[in-house]
């Protein structure tokens, strides 16, 4: 399909779908983007091939073009007939709830703003709420940090939640032992319901290695209902000693977007087995 035409040939990229809707219905790119998110959330558009860039993900329509026309027109009309406002819609008006969370270094003598939740409290709340699936991106998850949240992870395990942890092992022959111990602890808690993967890519150049990148994002996603996005991760330094800032987000559409980003990197990562971790414990 050529972008910006009225021809619909699926599968096409999300970027092409936005251009297609914008051209076909004479709507703005912003309106078309909102419509695409709604169609993805309702599974009227299904993702066929994940891409590292969300806009390059291939999707297909699960309904006929005629039915798609009717639904998109309804979405556009609903947006156009909404009460006018001179100010941009607030996150709350869009069905998104935000809670600011932070870590302020202990002993700094700075008072913690009352409207800001501590990162340790936010992490515990999100982890302990999981009943179906808990997804964690914590590049250097470590046992001391896990100890601070152990009760919350025990609660999630008792709730029957599955756990996916996306970490980063830069040297597979000499991994961070604090990370190894954290992974072993999670296996004890969740058993076969935990999966661990690592993402880091390197390109050999003679006697040296050049990094192609690795996981740096810090995310917590519980049941695709609420998510944390920020600078802190499951380490003692993040939860006690560093200045870290993030948001806890709830709202189906935005959390689904965050979860899709996690899933994209998860699919590109390598499995970390319990046997691998046990091999480093004497």
Please provide residue 72's backbone torsions phi and psi, each rounded to the nearest 5 degrees. -65, -40
With beta carbons less than 8 A apart as the criterion, state whether 246 and 234 touch.
no
The predicted structure's pLDDT at residue 84: 47
Q: Is the pLDDT of residue 83 over 80?
A: no
Q: Is the pLDDT of residue 177 over 50?
A: yes
The predicted structure's pLDDT at residue 7: 61
Q: In angstroms, rounded to a whole number, what is the distance separating the alpha carbons of residues 84 and 90?
A: 13
Mean of the per-residue pLDDT values of the chain: 85
Cβ–Cβ contacts within 10 Å for residue 112, how many? 11
> Residue 234, SS3?
coil
Q: Is the pLDDT of residue 3 over 50?
A: no
Q: Over the stretch 140-164, which tens digit does the pLDDT of each residue have?
A: 999 999 999 999 999 999 999 999 9
Q: Over the stretch 235-263, which tens digit does the pLDDT of each residue have?
A: 999 999 999 999 999 887 889 999 999 99
- pLDDT band at residue 86 using 50, 70 and 90 as cut-offs: very low
Winning range, highest mean pLDDT, from 3-17, 75-89, 224-238? 224-238
Q: Is the pLDDT of residue 181 over 90?
A: yes
Q: Is the pLDDT of residue 165 over 60?
A: yes
The predicted structure's pLDDT at residue 14: 87
Q: Over the stretch 5-48, which tens digit does the pLDDT of each residue have?
A: 456 688 889 889 888 888 888 888 878 888 888 888 778 888 88
Q: Is the pLDDT of residue 1 over 60?
A: no
Question: Which whole number is the average pLDDT over 211-215?
Answer: 69
Q: Tell me which H or E stretch contains 71.
A: helix 65-80
Task: State how far Cα 51 lies from the chain centre.
Answer: 15
DSSP state of 6: S
Q: In angstroms, rounded to a whole number, what is the distance separating the alpha carbons of residues 182 and 268?
A: 22
- Per DSSP bridges, beta strands 133-137 and 117-118 are unpaired
> pTM for this structure?
0.67
Percent of the chain at pLDDT > 70 equals: 85
The predicted structure's pLDDT at residue 114: 74
Domains, the chain, ordered by start: 12-80 (no CATH), 97-278 (3.30.870.10)
Q: Over the stretch 89-117, which tens digit does the pLDDT of each residue have?
A: 556 545 678 899 999 887 777 776 778 89
- pLDDT band at residue 85 using 50, 70 and 90 as cut-offs: very low
The predicted structure's pLDDT at residue 10: 85
The predicted structure's pLDDT at residue 78: 67
The predicted structure's pLDDT at residue 205: 55
């Amino acid at each position: 399909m050529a972008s910006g035409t009225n021809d619909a040939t699926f599968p096409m990229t999300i970027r092409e779908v936005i251009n297609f809707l914008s051209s076909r219905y004479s709507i703005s790119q912003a309106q078309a983007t909102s419509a695409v998110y709604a169609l993805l959330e309702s599974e009227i558009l299904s993702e066929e091939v994940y891409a590292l860039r969300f806009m390059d993900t291939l999707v297909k329509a699960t309904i006929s073009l005629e039915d798609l026309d009717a639904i998109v027109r309804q979405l556009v009309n609903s947006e156009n007939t909404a009460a006018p406002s001179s100010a941009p819609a607030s996150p709350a008006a869009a069905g998104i709830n935000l809670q600011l969370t932070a870590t302020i270094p202990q002993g700094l003598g700075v008072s913690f703003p009352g409207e800001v939740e501590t990162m340790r409290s936010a992490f515990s709340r999100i982890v302990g709420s999981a009943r179906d699936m808990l997804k964690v991106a914590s590049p250097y998850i470590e046992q001391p940090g896990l100890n601070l949240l152990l009760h919350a992870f025990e609660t999630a395990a008792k709730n029957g939640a599955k756990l996916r942890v996306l970490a980063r092992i830069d040297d597979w022959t000499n991994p961070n032992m604090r990370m190894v111990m954290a992974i072993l602890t999670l296996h004890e808690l969740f058993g076969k319901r935990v999966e661990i993967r690592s993402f880091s890519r390197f390109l050999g150049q003679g006697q040296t290695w050049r990094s192609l990148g690795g996981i740096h994002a810090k995310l917590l996603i519980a049941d695709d209902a609420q998510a944390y996005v920020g600078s802190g991760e499951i380490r003692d330094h993040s939860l006690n000693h560093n200045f870290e800032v993030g948001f806890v987000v709830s709202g189906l559409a935005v959390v689904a977007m965050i979860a899709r980003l996690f899933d994209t990197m998860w699919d590109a990562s390598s499995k970390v087995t319990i046997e691998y971790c046990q091999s480093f414990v004497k």
